[in-house]
Amino acid sequence: MSSHPARLWPDTATILERSRGTFFAHWVEFIRLHQATLKSMAPDDIHDLRVASRRFRAVLELLYPFVPKGTRAVLRKSVRKLTRALGGLRNIDEALLFFQSHIDSEISSESKLCSLLSELRDKELTRIKKVLKDFEERKLDQMVREIVADVNDVSITKRNSISLLAYFSNVSIRQYLAIHRRLGVAVVPERRTSRHALRIAIKKWRYFFEIITHILGCDYSRTVELLKEYQSILGRMNDIAEFEMLLSSLKLPHDERVNTKAILLVEDSMLLAHLTKLIEQKPLAYTFLL
């Protein structure tokens, strides 16, 4: 018989209050960064805005069944469009950092690659500024406030009879199964698509735990840190794939293209070895405290 006292879970009213607070806090941070980015267009602000948009989408997805259909669809589409718009610039910036780190070792300082990427970045920055200006912040802010007001005992009873704890548990199970199905094939060199899907699934499960920590008051820090390790390696492998796509769009001298492709191949092989080792030494197991 366990000597540990039974855990006292927050009641429904407390869970709802924390859910509303977490949802609105993510929105406020997203809007703050949107306004800051419009003023500065600084690389760090752009990156932070993209992350904030992903985090807001994660908490929106978690509360999705309890949100009115009309507003949730518009909100999801608008924020997702912004997230995607920022992705191209992020890939260019990461490519510049990666290839600049190889200059004078494997890439000549007279390489055309970095100058072409810089030109591409300027064009992407102009496009992003328009997307940021077109984002309907006031309209969406009103929707968010309506959602916050609508997430209550009455609306949840109308839309879903399952308990909130059971619902969170079901979400966690589904997200872990998406990971479990892909782990076995993720180390096969040719299965890039599986690794891409695995990266997204791991990111979603990590965001889930980060959100649920605030709502339920549980400590999932060890799980989150392990998911970060996986996400870091898989993210770099996805970067390599994005860099290859960027290279295919640039007019490079033949020798330079061959050289850069070789660099990416070596990097990808090294990352795959790291991923294989991580899966063997620190396998991902299901966890959700209930």
Provide the b/e sequence for 57-89 (b: ≥16 CB within 10 Å): bbbbbbbeebbeeebbeebeebbeebbebbebb
- Flag whether pLDDT at 3 surpasses 50: no
pLDDT in tens, 165-212: 888 999 999 999 999 999 989 999 999 999 999 999 999 999 999 999
pLDDT band at residue 9 under the 50/70/90 scheme:
confident
The ranges assigned to domains in the chain are 12-160, 162-290
Instruction: Record the pTM.
Output: 0.89
pLDDT in tens, 77-102: 999 999 999 999 999 999 999 998 88
Please tell me the distance from the alpha carbon of residue 76 to that of residue 150, in angstroms, as a whole number: 17
pLDDT in tens, 118-140: 999 999 999 999 999 999 999 99
pLDDT given at position 66: 80
Average pLDDT over residues 258-279: 95
pLDDT in tens, 52-82: 999 999 999 998 888 877 788 899 999 999 9
* Contact (CB, 8 A) for 42 and 71: no
Q: Which H or E run contains 78?
A: helix 69-100
Q: Does the domain made of 12-160 have the CATH classification 1.10.357.10? A: no
Expressed in angstroms, the distance from the first to the final Cα of the chain is 17
Average pLDDT over residues 242-247: 94
Please tell me the distance from the alpha carbon of residue 129 to that of residue 219, in angstroms, as a whole number: 39
For residue 104, what are the contacts with CB-CB under 8 A and spacing of at least 6?
none
